Amino acid sequence: MTLALRRAPARRRAPEVVVCAAAGFTTLLDSSVLNIGLPALRSALDAEGAEVQWIFAAYSLTFGLALVPAGRLGDVYGRRRLLLAGMLLFATMGVCSAVAPGPWTVIVARFGQGLGAGMISAQVLGIIAERFTGSDRAKALAAYSTAGGLAGLCGPLTGGVILSIAPDAVGWRLLLLLNVPFAVLTLLLTVRYLEPDHRESGTRTGIDIGGLFLLAVITALLMFPVVADVPPQVVGSSIVGAGLAIAGFFWWEKRFATRFGNPVLIPALTRSGGYLLGTLVAMFWFGAVVSLNAVVGLYLIEGLGYPALYAAVVMSAGSLAMAVASSGGWRIVARVGRGAVAVAVLVELAVIGGYIGAAQLAAPIAVFVALAVVSGLTGGMVDAPNRVLTLESSPPGGHGVAAGFLQLSQRLSATVTIAAVSGLYLSALSTDPADFAGAATAGLIVCGVMIALSLVLAVADGRRRAASSS
C-alpha cells in the first residue's frame, strides 16, 4: 500500500529530525567503539581468531541483509513501527552482548544487533525522503550526517577513556552497553514525537516475498566470503551462486510485476538516471573513505609506532570536521548543484595523494591530522548532499526501498574494499615486513581509483542534470 503522509508545519517536523538524528547517532556509535574494545574482549573471553572475525562480521552481514527488505516493509506497513521494532531489537541485543559469558554469545547478539541496525537505518532515510521536501529534506539529511560525524568523534574517545579507568574484565562490557541508553532514549523519542504513518485507503498491495528472499540470498552470498575467512573454492562457489541468484532475481521481478504489481525492484527506480548515478557515486566514495581510514590507522600504529589513542585523535579530527561540514554543506550544494559534490570528490582524491606522500616521508602526526580534517570537510560536502540529490529521484511509494538499495551499495562497497585493501597491505608486508609505507601506499592507491570512479560518475550526473534542465 502506498503511504501518504499529511503535510505538517516545519515547526512540527523538527522533533522528527531529532528522532532521525538520534537513531543515526545510536547505530553509528556502536560501530565506532567496537574497534577500541575488541582487544580487551578477546583477552577476557579467550576468543580465538575465527571467533574475533565473526564478532566483526556478524554485525555487517545482517546489517546489509536487512536494509532493502526493511525498507520495502516500511514502504508498505509504515516506518514508525519498523523503526520501533528495530530499535527495541538493537537495544536488547546490545544488553545480551554486554553480559555474554562467551564469544559465541557475543556473535549471536551481534547478528541480532546488526539486523536491528539495518531496520533502523532503512526507516530513517525513508522517513526523511518521504516526509520532507526541498531544503527541509536537505537539512534533515545534514542533521543525520552530522549525528554520524559526532558518533565517530565520541565513540573512540569515550571508549578510550572507559578502557583506561575500568577493570579489564569490565571495560569491554561497558563499551558494548554504551549505545543502549541512547537506544532507549531514541525509542522514547520515537514514541513521543514521530508522527504515525497515514495510509491512503484502497491502496493495498502484496509483499514480494520471493524478491525479498532472493535479494537476501544475493546479499549473503556476496558478503559472506568477504567478511568470513573461507577457502578460495568457497569464494568461487559463492560468486557463482550470487550470479545465478541475480539472474533468478531479475526473472522473478519481471514475472511478479506482470502478475501482481509492485516488485521489490520498482521499475521507476531502475529507470531513474539520477538515482542510479547518485547511488554509484555514494558506493565508490563510501567504500574508499572507510578503507582509507582503516589503512591510515594501521600505518600510524604499526608503521610509525604511535599509540592507538593518537590514531583515534586523527580519526576523531576527521569526524568532527565532517560533522561541521555536514551541517552547512547542503546550502552550498543547493546553490551550485551536483558540481559542488564533484569538486569535493576531487579534493578527496588530492587528500589521498597527500596521505601517500605523508606515508612515504614518514611525516609527523600533525600532517595526518590536517589531512584527516580536509577529508572530513569533503565528506560533509559529499555524504548528505549526494543523498539529497539521489533520493529526490526516487519514485513515490518507494522511498524506503530506494534508501535501502543506496545503503546496501555502500555497505557492500565498504566490506569488499576493506577486505581488498587490508589484503594488499598485509601482502606487501609479507614481502617486506619493514616497508609499512609501501604497504600503506598499495592500499591507498586502490582507494584513489575508487574515488576517481566516483568523480567520473558525479560529473556524468552533473551533465545529465544540465542537459535535462536546458
pLDDT of 8 above 70: no
How sure is the predictor about 91, in pLDDT bands with cuts at 50, 70 and 90?
A: very high
Phi, psi of 199 (to 5 degrees): -105, 145
- Residue 256 sits at φ, ψ, to 5 deg, of -65, -40
* Alpha carbons 327 and 320: distance in angstroms, whole number: 11
pLDDT-derived band at 354, boundaries 50, 70, 90: very high
The string of DSSP letters for 281-299 reads HHHHHHHHHHHHHHHHHHI
Q: Which CATH class is domain 266-465?
A: mainly alpha
What is the domain partition of the chain in residue ranges?
A: 7-196, 207-261, 266-465
**Buried b or exposed e, range 185-210, using 16+ CB within 10 angstroms:** ebbebbeebbbebebeeeeeeebbeb
Name the strand (E) or helix (H) holding 310. helix 308-336
pLDDT(176) > 60: yes
Do 7-196 and 266-465 show the same overall fold?
yes
By residue count, the chain amounts to 470
Residue 204 has pLDDT above 50, yes or no: no
Please report the pLDDT score of residue 385 as a whole number.
Answer: 84
**CB-based burial of residue 19 (10 Å sphere; 0-12 exposed, 13-18 middle, 19+ buried)?**
buried
Question: Using CA atoms, how far apart are residues 303 and 436, in angstroms rounded to an integer?
Answer: 5
User: What is the SS3 string spanning 20-56?
Assistant: HHHHHHHHHHHHHHHHHHHHHHHHHHCCCHHHHHHHH
Give the pLDDT confidence of 209-261 residue by residue, as tens digits.
888 888 888 888 877 776 666 677 777 888 899 889 889 988 888 888 777 76
Cα distance between residue 46 and residue 64, in whole Å = 28
CATH architecture classification, 7-196: Up-down Bundle (1.20)
Q: How confident is the model at residue 156 (pLDDT cuts 50, 70, 90)?
A: confident
Percent of the chain at pLDDT exceeding 70: 90
**Does 114 have pLDDT greater than 80?**
yes
- Of 40-54, 69-83, 317-331, the least confident: 40-54
